[in-house]
Amino acid sequence: MKAKKINLEQYVELREKIRDSNYLVWENLNEKILELIETTENLTPEIVEDIKKAYDDLVQGIIPSVLPVDFIKPKTFQELEMHEITLVENIPEAIRKMFNKLFKAYLKNSTNNPLLPDETLYNLLTKFNNENVELRYPNNSSNPYQNQAYRRARQQGYNWKSKAADELYSYFDGLLTMLSNIRNFQTHKEDAFTSTQFELAGRKVSDPLSGISNPGNYIVLVNIVILSTYQFIEILQTWVDTQARIGNTG
């Protein structure tokens, strides 16, 4: 059975509805972000300016680009493709840079988890988690994960920090892997070998809904932006939770 392709008018109308509904979502999520930034400023004011730099990327660059007040209404498929490809190629990289700035806020002065050049988001997340774990259990004091019987049974490769990180509030971490995958695609999509393999299968890379020459589209992108906002909140919340655990009341 051949899939029925959505027409331009239907797709443009769908984009508008998705934009309107997700802007309402963003407004409510933004209130939570501002609340957490204010709390962080009371607890650890020395890092808040760097957090605000990441927040500025989100609120001044990413959100206005993806959820604009005046929504572009392309009249032809060519206009649609030009607009969408610009967004789906540029916004994921902007999000990646935003998270780099956010992790930098927490790690730039870290002794045990120092920043290195060109770190992946996954590595930055791991260091951020380790930073929180070490703050919660300094010098292994009262460390429930440093069970000696458990440790003896697993002499090789036992890492209590990894186990302790399970208690951190993490649900959207997979988004960071997705951003890395998108970046890899953008980097290698024009490789002669890669493009040839698709040609051998008799097709070009394209979005199954709109047909633009990219695996994603505006609808996918909006979801990535909203998930990024949730992940932003998770990171802020994890730090605030850690400060509460160690008794820092500002």
Q: Which residues contact 67 (CB under 8 A, 6 or more apart)?
A: 19, 22, 23, 26, 222, 225
What pLDDT does residue 148 have?
A: 62
> Which residues in the chain land under pLDDT 70?
1-5, 140, 147-158
What pLDDT does residue 149 have?
A: 62
What pLDDT does residue 150 have?
A: 57
What pLDDT does residue 79 have?
A: 92
Query: Residue 153 to residues 130, 146, 159, 160, 164: CA-CA distances in angstroms?
Result: 23, 12, 13, 13, 18
pTM, to two decimals: 0.90
